[in-house]
Every structure is written in structure tokens, then in C-alpha cells.
Chains A and B, each alone.
Chain A
Amino acid sequence: MTNQSDLVLIKRCLDGEVNAFAGLIDRYQKPVYNAAFRMLSDARNAEDVTQTVFIKAFENLDRYDANYKFFSWVYKMTINESINFLKRENRFAGLDLNTLSNQNASEDAFHQFETKEQIDLALLVLEPSHRAIVVLKHFHGLSYKEIGYIMDLPEKTIKSRLYESRQQMRKVFFKQGYVQ
């Protein structure tokens, strides 16, 4: 799946072939939906944000800068839409770490930390702009440079925010008894 083939689909769309956009949806709906889901921790809202992102992408295809990868452009819209959604819903602040209960994880749990609820909880503690960096880095495997483009931030800031976020998530894991 190369950037070139994205460009071909985009050109076909711009030439009036609306159905060519279906190819871009096929290719990117899953990562876009997942990025929104991790940001919002809600399936329905993630679906709405995904719809909005693709419709806006379609409306603004003529402004797409082919110097950047199409998915970076779409991720940028996804993160912005998700953060705007959280602001509208007054959910911009992360969960207060102090409100989490202290728990003791079992030995099994210590070794099997794939419990998605725990990961979601740890993400919710982060403020959305930090959460976005963790999502893009760890769920989508993007480089610091790509994340910097998406977030409109220098790489150095991305690195420091990622470090802070991991430390904060470590505290959640500690509170939940998964690290001791």
C-alpha cells in the first residue's frame, strides 16, 4: 500500500470520481476509528468522529499537500476532531489520578497486562494532547517526526510529552497494582 496509490485515488476523486474515495475509506477507516476510539474511549463517539474526518477530508482533498503522507493528514484531522469533541463535552481534563482506587493485582495479572480496561483507564488520566501522542506512538507506530507534523509541535516537545505520559501511566499501573 504505497503513498503513490493514495495519490492515484485522490486524483480520481478530484477528477469527479466520488466512488474512488471508497478506496481511501477501506484503507484508513480502521486506523482512524481506532485513533478516535482511544482518544474518546467511546465507540459511538469514535464512529461520529470518523465520519466527520472522512467527510472533511473529502471536502478538502484539493488542499491536501502531497508532500505529506495521506494518513498523516487524516490522523491530524482525527486528533483535532477528537480534541474538539472532548472540549465540547467538557471532558478536556484527564481523570484525576488521586480518584483511582488502590488495588492489588494478582500474580497472573502482573504478567498479563493486556486488560484493555486498564489501558483505557491509564490513557484517560492523560490530558488529551498527551494522550494523542501516546496513541499515535504506541497504537499506530508513528515516528516522532510524523507525530510532530500531526500535532504541530517540535519533535523535542513530542519526546518530552511522551516521557511525561509514560511516567504518568506508570503511576496508574502502580495504583492498580500492576507494577510494584
Chain B
Amino acid sequence: MSEAKYLELIQRELDGLNSPQQSADLHALMEKNAALHKSYEELRTVVDALEQAEMHEPPAHLKATIMNALPRAKQQPEQTKASRSWLAGLLPRQPRFQISFAFAGGLALGLLLFALFTGSELGQNQPDASQLFGTLASSEQSSQPVAVDLGSTKGTLVVQKSQKGMTIVLDFVADEAVDFVLEFDPERLKFEAILNDGAAPESIQVVAGNMTFRPQNGVKSRISFVTLNESPSPQLRFKIVENGNIRYETSLPKTP
């Protein structure tokens, strides 16, 4: 019997797949062949160690976090499918025309977005300088809103990415006093500013990789960070804390 065959018999023995006869033959062989016996014992140690490893308990809030995200998650693909089929009807059939069409469409969309952005955000809704804490990065790309519903605290969070960094937009209503916490790696991200559409939040604290503030009820907050190190793409940890207990926790931006 070849060495490869011996090894296969050993692997099958480890998986409990050998017949009683194959198992007896293998053990008889190992009694005569010390090297084979050693290989078996070493692999047995590996397999036993793996099978004795304990399972980890998932975080207690995980189920609630998933359930909170579900209704919105259910709606998004339907919207995407609808917009795809609408676009598909407009596209020409030949690939070379599709590319030209896509380029022209992209250019038109870009101009439209630029006009909208400069008309409404910069021209008409200039932020009150008294609510500005630092300076803000300009936004270029927004994530889908993530809905959070904890009963007494509910709202949405959006991540806007820019060349400079990212801005987290928090739009929440809270019946109870809660703290928002943003944890980040200070070697990869730097807190830059917090801007509010209404009253400024209370007790803003920024210490190393941790930014905490108590939001004003119903006030939208924009918190911007500058990227110091882009590889790999930096992430933040967002938490809603009530009386010292974590009610909600997620990473931002969400994994696609």
C-alpha cells in the first residue's frame, strides 16, 4: 500500500469513516510502522483540539439589531429592481451605444445633482455658524439610510463619504435621555466637526478614538471625520447608550 493510501486511511479514521475492518487494518499497520503511528497521533491531537473548542455566545443585542433593520431591508431590493427595469427599458440594445448612453446619462445626472446641491444645500440652507463645532468635509456619496427603532429612541443614520473623509448624519427622536457614541481608530480617522440643524448637542466629548454626545430631541446632527489612512477602508462603531447600557450597536459604513 502507498504512503498516500495510508494517509487517506488515517484521514478517514479521523472522520470516523473507516469500516471496522479498515480501522483494524490501519491499527495493525500502525503497530508495525512507528512513523505512520506518529502521523496519526499528531493529526488526532489537531482534530481533538478543534472539536473541544467552545462556541462563543453572540452579543445579547444582536437579534434586536437585526430585527430593527429588517423592514427597511425588505423594501430596498424592490426599489432597486423597479429602478433597474425602468432604466433597462431606456437603454439601447447594442453595447457600444449603451456605453455612450451611460456616459451621457451620468454626465446629465452629475450636472443635475450639482445644480440641486448648490441650489438647496449651499445657497438656501446655510448652516447657522453658532451651531458649527469645527469645519465640515463636503459630502459626495451617501449610503442607504439605516433605520433604528428602539421604541423610545428611533431614527435613521446615513454615512456620506467624501474624498476627505466621511460624515455620519444622525436624525433621531428620543423620548429618553440617550448618549450617542462613535468609536474610531485615531490612527485612521480624525474627528473634525459636528454640525446640528437645531440646538447644539449637550456634553460633546472627544477623547482619543471615542466621541460621545447627548443629542437634542429631533435634531439632525452631522459628524464629520477626516481619513488619515485609507487602506483598508476605515470603519466607525456607532452605539446608542441609555443609562450606561448599550441599546444599539453597529459598524459604519455597513458592509455592502
Seen from chain A, the residues whose Cβ lies within 8 Å of a Cβ on chain B are 18-19, 21-22, 25-26, 29-31, 33-34, 37, 43-45, 47-52, 54-55, 58-59, 81, 84-85, 88-90, 113-114, 116, 118-119, 122, 134, 138-139, 159, 162-163, 166-167, 169-170, 173-174, 178-179
Contacts and interface: CB of A to CB of B under 8 A. Distances in A.
Interface of B is mostly: helix
A97 B157 CA distance: 42
20 contacts: A18-B71, A21-B67, A26-B63, A34-B56, A48-B250, A50-B58, A50-B62, A50-B66, A55-B70, A58-B73, A89-B232, A113-B45, A113-B52, A114-B52, A119-B50, A122-B46, A163-B7, A163-B11, A170-B42, A174-B42
B162 interface: no
B138 to A, nearest CB: 25
Given A21-B70, A29-B62, A48 B251 contact: yes
Contact of B233 (A21, A88, A113, A139): A88
Nearest to A168: B46
Interface string B1-39: 000000110010010000000000000000000000000
Given A51-B66, A88-B232, A30 B58 contact: yes
Nearest to A84: B255
Given A59-B73, A90-B232, A173 B56 contact: no
Interface of B: 7-8, 11, 14, 41-43, 45-59, 62-63, 65-67, 69-71, 73-74, 76-77, 231-233, 237, 249-251, 254-255
Contact of A25 (B42, B43, B63): B63
Contact of B49 (A34, A51, A59, A114): A114
Given A18-B74, A25-B67, A173 B52 contact: no
A21 to B, nearest CB: 6
B8 to A, nearest CB: 8
In the A-B complex, the 10 residue pairs with the closest CB atoms: A138-B50, A33-B58, A113-B49, A179-B42, A55-B73, A89-B232, A54-B66, A48-B251, A114-B52, A25-B63
Contacts of B51: 138
A51 B65 contact: yes
Contacts of B250: 48, 51
B119 to A, nearest CB: 35
Contacts of A178: 45, 49
B54 A116 contact: yes
A163 B47 CA distance: 11
A81 B255 contact: yes
Nearest to B249: A47
Given A48-B251, A114-B49, A138-B51, A33 B62 contact: yes
B63 A29 contact: yes
A139 B67 contact: no
B53 A139 contact: yes
Given A173-B42, A173-B45, A179-B42, A22 B63 contact: yes
A18 B147 CA distance: 15
